[in-house]
Amino acid sequence: MRIKLALGVAALTALSPVTAQATNGYFSHGYGTISKGMAGAGTALSQDSIAAATNPAGMAFVGNRIDGGFEVFSPRREYTVEGPLSPPPAFPLQPGTYKSSRNGFVIPHLGFNRELSDTTSFGVSVFANGGMNTDYSGESGGPFYAGRTGVNLEQLFIAPTWSWEFSDNQAIGISPVIAYQRFEAEGLQSFAPFSSDANALSNNGTDDAWGYGYQIGWQGEITDTLHGGVSWRNILKMNEFDKYRGLFAEQGDFDIPQMFNAGIAWSGIEDHWFLLDIQHIRYSEINSVGNPLLPNLQTAQLGDDAGAGFGWDDMTIVKLGWQWQQTTSHAWRAGVSYGENPISDEDVLFNILAPGVQEWHFTGGFTHSFSENLDVSGMAFYSPAKTVTGPNPLAANQTIDLEMYQLGASVSVGWKY
């Protein structure tokens, strides 16, 4: 009955609105309040039922529990244009500084895990990420002279997970991943001459798509004080955004890139854990995200297989986390992560819509146990301002600055049964 209830809640969550966020590109810096308090580290040390988002094998070690919570997330984005307005056929932007008006979001997460035997368990992790989320006013014609402009990408993942502790303190896990995403764009009509289908380029409302894939992982004890873990998620194959087949490469395709995680966790100092994770996200393999603006805009139309995209590079992120079990009922956490932003200075024009430029994240968190069954965890993070500057490729003598900083906090409740 508990398993049926968890699956029912997951299904309802999948149908509810999900808010996009942008940290490491458009992937979250971590999943679940506990892991996020350590900058997203946790491939080798799982502590709640959101663990499958990072490493499915970790569900073998979290026991019977339910976790749920939400994050309040605030990204502050702006772009600045400097330089004169050149005459046609150039495409200059209006000089000045312009801010996106969407600055506050709420992001839910939910998890469930149950031990089926001494060595196996089944759980469900529900989590979200996203990122291409902006809203610029139509002042001065809007960024591209087509009025109010922006995009909104929302993604949700449901990961039923089976894990097996095949030997003492050694486990593997697998998660069939069900993905749902929706997208909307407005204010891009000026690019109609470059589109393979101008009627499916902009201002078509919200479109959605379902997709699937899987994630596998290992987690285990290497020595008495050292744990390790690795996981891999394949490319999640998504249905096309038909309403935007004239915008995204491959006729509206927007698959979700593959992801690798590897980590170690060391407990050589009593009551302390020190974590090191490395994450790799292969944005460049997804044409709609990885294709550059130029020369693709000159050699193919938007929506074609080789159509222009956002020019995002792959990301490798290093995460350091620390946890101190101060008392049996209270733990403190901190973390820092760094990954070079995926946007090069040649691709700033399109990324006015998706300025995923963040590199550093600084985090802190805690868990307090009110009883043997009830835990409450909290987390806060700050990602300092990062600026990417590059030329406007469609107008000589103009430069574009993309800038963003982020704040966020989350809370979750864990119930052991």
User: What is the predicted pLDDT for the residue at 318?
Assistant: 98
* Structure-model confidence comparison of residues 97 and 130, the more confident one: 97
Note if the bond before 176 is cis, omega within 30 degrees.
Answer: no
Cβ neighbors of 276 (< 8 A, separation 6 or more) are 41, 263, 264, 265, 318, 319, 320, 321
Tell me 87's DSSP state. Answer: P
pLDDT tens figures, 9-56: 444 444 444 444 558 999 999 999 999 999 999 999 999 999 999 999
* Structure-model confidence comparison of residues 107 and 247, the more confident one: 247
| Structural tokens at position 247 | 């915008």
Lowest mean pLDDT: which of 102-111, 262-271, 403-412?
A: 102-111
Facing residues of 332 across strands?
324, 366
Domains in the chain: boundaries = 2-416
pLDDT tens figures, 365-394: 999 999 999 999 999 999 999 999 999 999
User: What is the predicted pLDDT for the residue at 17?
Assistant: 43
Instruction: List the one residue out of 414, 411, 413 whose CA is nearest residue 72.
Output: 411
User: What is the predicted pLDDT for the residue at 20?
Assistant: 46
**% of the chain surpassing 90 pLDDT:** 90
Distance of alpha carbon 112 from alpha carbon 375, whole angstroms = 14
Give the mean pLDDT of 248-276. 98
Give the mean pLDDT of 212-221. 98
Average pLDDT of the chain, as a whole number: 93
- Residue by residue, DSSP assigns 100-143 as -S---EEEEEEEEEEESSSSEEEEEEEEEEE-----B--GGG-T
User: What is the predicted pLDDT for the residue at 22?
Assistant: 54
Q: Is the CATH code 2.40.160.60 the one for domain 2-416?
A: yes
pLDDT at 266 over 80: yes
**% of the chain surpassing 70 pLDDT:** 94
Give the mean pLDDT of 172-187. 97
For residues 358 and 22, the answer to whether their CB atoms sit within 8 Å is: yes
pLDDT tens figures, 341-352: 999 999 999 999
Lowest mean pLDDT: which of 61-70, 124-133, 231-240, 271-280?
A: 124-133
Instruction: List the one residue out of 32, 38, 20 whose CA is nearest residue 334.
Output: 38
pLDDT at 3 over 80: no
pTM: 0.93
For residues 156 and 194, the answer to whether their CB atoms sit within 8 Å is: no
pLDDT at 4 over 50: no
pLDDT tens figures, 290-329: 999 999 999 999 999 999 999 999 999 999 999 999 999 9
